[in-house]
Amino acid sequence: MTLASSRGTSNGPDWKDIASALFAFEYQEKCKVRISIEAAGTPEEEDLSIQAIAVQEGKSGLEVSTLASANAKCSATGLVRLEAQIFRLLYALDFQSAANEYLASLNQEQ
């Protein structure tokens, strides 16, 4: 990954990289990404549960549809940095969004 290399960091992406990726994804997909973090696990085995949801507002602004969603727990992937886990969720949102768009195009052809 070369995003963080422009700022001289060597331990991976930082919050600026996450912000850039979020802005790019939201611009491309015409959506908003919501990320929520909750405590998970037990007091003896603490963990974080992270959810990312991409939503699109309707023309009236009243209806909202989910474009894509993804969930992860930090311990489940072995990723110790929160930024890395958020990037992983953004990749999942992007994949899901592309798959949904492809399936919709197939349905329109039929």
pLDDT at residue 15, rounded to an integer = 87
Q: What is the pTM of this model?
A: 0.77
- Tokens standing for residue 90: 């953004």
Q: pLDDT per position in the chain (110 positions), as tens? A: 344 445 555 567 788 999 999 999 999 999 999 999 999 888 888 888 999 999 987 776 677 888 899 998 887 666 667 888 899 999 999 999 999 889 988 888 77
CB 89 within 8 A of CB 72: yes
Give the residue among 37, 32, 40 at the shortest CA–CA distance from 68: 32
CA distance 29 to 97: 8
Q: Residue 10 is encoded by which pair of tokens?
A: 């060597």
